[in-house]
Amino acid sequence: MATLISERTLWLIVHGIVLGSAFLLAFSAGLLGLVSYGWDTTWLHKDLHRFLHRLRHGIWITALLSWVIVLTGSGILGPWYYAAPPPGADLTDYPRAYLLSSPELRAWHTFGMEWKVNISWLTPVLTTSVAFIAFAYGRHLTHDRILRRVTIGLFTLAFLLTGIAAMLGVLVAKIAPLK
């Protein structure tokens, strides 16, 4: 009996759809929290404490999700992508080798996949930095506009890099899918 979904396809779904969607939701909540944090400087102490608690936890969840996404991509999907084919094998079963075997497709690996892998590692570093700022300097984010803007900028940069990496990953997977 044939399986409906292969192990590789299941991991692609977990990596891209499940974890990616959770990251998008967590990022959206974190960004909304960071942006709205500076709107009202007349917080009551208990309201500020509750809001800051949720903001810190939400951004840490975003950072954790970004680490899990990168680690599943590099540790689980990566070896399948980079696997070396045995002599005479069908290269379509080996995405990296397939892309490198054709001059027309080579750039999808040398630029697309390699750039995707490198920039995707910046996302967890940036989101962890933002989580640290929110944890260590949370109360200052209300009054310190520069700190809040830098924090929002780092968080937004992490999101943009994630979007670029995801787009490149989808395009490479369309041309040379993991089977």
The model carries a pTM of: 0.90
Task: Provide φ and ψ at 167, rounded to 5°.
Answer: -60, -45
**pLDDT at res. 80:** 96
Structurally, the chain folds into a number of domains equal to 1
Residue 109 in tokens:
């690996």
Of 35, 126, 17, 120, the C-alpha closest to 75 is 120
Residue 82 in tokens:
């980079």
Q: Which domain holds residue 151?
A: 7-175
Contact 159, 27 (CB under 8 A): yes
Mean pLDDT of the chain: 91
In a domain, 2, yes or no: no
Residue 54 in tokens:
């949720």
Residue 33 in tokens:
């929290």
**pLDDT at res. 141:** 85
In a domain, 146, yes or no: yes
In a domain, 1, yes or no: no
